[in-house]
């Protein structure tokens, strides 16, 4: 059902410092900041030959990333995103197997302009999973 790894998301306490570290220290191609109000985050994508890194920073006081950074002030891996061909079929299959989809269960549009869903970390060995339709 899942396809390739789309990205690994890292919550960071200082978005510009993290982007600069990837750009200068690691020599990576770093994109521009992008506000995602529906998800309460500002993101920067780092392009790698085989996947992406998504830097996450809180956008507003209600951001889920703010709570994550309160618990992990230095930042850390927040989630992994896998591609799926049909997000509704994937959701239905997962829910039928007992996996919990976060929120309403309806996909939202993600940072790449494609439908996404998040799966409860307690159902996946403590890892928050994002599914993105390709």
pTM of the entire predicted model: 0.94
Q: CA–CA separation, 40 vs 21, rounded Å?
A: 23
Note down pLDDT in tens along the chain; length 134 residues.
999 999 999 999 999 999 999 999 999 999 999 999 999 999 999 999 999 999 999 999 899 999 999 999 999 999 999 999 999 999 999 999 999 999 999 999 999 999 999 999 999 999 999 999 99
Contact between 106 and 38 (Cβ < 8 Å): no
3-class DSSP state of 19? helix
Active site residues: 130
Domains of the chain are 5-133 (3.10.180.10)
- Distances from the Cα of 30 to the Cαs of 19, 48, 79, 134, in angstroms? 7, 9, 19, 22
Phi and psi at 48, nearest 5°, equal: -120, 160
Supply the pLDDT for residue 115: 98
Q: CA–CA separation, 23 vs 15, rounded Å?
A: 12
The structure tokens listed for 58 are 């809180």
Supply the pLDDT for residue 44: 98
Supply the pLDDT for residue 80: 98
Supply the pLDDT for residue 29: 97
* CB hemisphere CA count around 110 (13 angstroms): 24
The structure tokens listed for 79 are 């989630």
Supply the pLDDT for residue 13: 98
Supply the pLDDT for residue 78: 97
Contact between 133 and 107 (Cβ < 8 Å): yes
Supply the pLDDT for residue 82: 98
The structure tokens listed for 21 are 């570290």
């Amino acid at each position: 059902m899942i396809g390739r790894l789309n990205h690994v998301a890292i919550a960071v306490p200082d978005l510009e410092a993290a982007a600069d570290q990837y750009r200068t220290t690691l020599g990576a191609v770093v994109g521009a900041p992008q506000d995602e109000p529906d998800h309460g985050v500002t993101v920067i994508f780092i392009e790698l030959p085989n996947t992406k890194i998504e830097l996450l920073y809180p956008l507003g006081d209600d951001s889920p990333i703010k709570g994550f950074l309160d618990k992990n002030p230095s930042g850390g891996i927040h989630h992994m995103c896998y591609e799926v061909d049909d997000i509704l079929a994937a959701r239905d299959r997962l829910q039928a197997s007992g996996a919990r989809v976060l929120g309403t269960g309806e996909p939202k549009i993600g940072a790449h302009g494609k439908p996404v869903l998040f799966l409860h970390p307690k159902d996946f060995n403590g890892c928050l999973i994002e599914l993105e339709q390709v």
